Amino acid sequence: MAKIEILRSGGVKYKFLLKSRNGMKLLIGEPQESLAECELAINQVKELAKDDANFTDHRTGENEPYFTIGNGHTIATSRIYASHRNLRDSLKPIRKNLADAKIIYPVESLFQD
């Protein structure tokens, strides 16, 4: 089963990481101020991922393709792909992983927020 890990960024902010069943890192969320905001971002990405219009293609300085998901601002960024075709072929599995993923909370979050 895919999983969404909620991580602490610098001990202050929260971000999420979508991993496939085999542990491949697929998406990372933008840092959020609170656990509740991070959970909201996860739900937004799950909803936005249903529509191709919410995916924006980009290239690194080395011309490697990746994408972002958002609705006017970036909520999550993909890993870097070997080709644009690989990026496009990944969208359906990413949607499935998002829909099926179990959310894993950081242990310290049980005592904060």
- Where along the chain do its domains lie? 3-107
**Record: fold of 3-107:** PH-domain like (2.30.29)
pLDDT the model gives residue 111: 46
Whole-number Å distance between alpha carbons of 33 and 49: 22
Please tell me what DSSP assigns to residue 77: E
pLDDT the model gives residue 108: 56
Asked whether the beta carbons of 50 and 95 are under 8 A apart, the reply is: yes
pLDDT tens for the 113 residues of the chain, in order? 899 999 987 777 999 999 999 999 999 999 999 999 999 999 999 999 999 999 999 999 999 999 999 998 999 999 999 999 999 999 999 999 999 999 998 765 444 44
Work out the end-to-end distance of the chain between its first and last CA atoms, rounded to an integer number of angstroms.
Answer: 28
Q: At what angle do helices 35-48 and 84-100 cross, to 10 degrees?
A: 120
Alpha helices in 1-113 (DSSP H): 35-48, 84-100
Helix (H) or strand (E) holding 57: strand 55-59
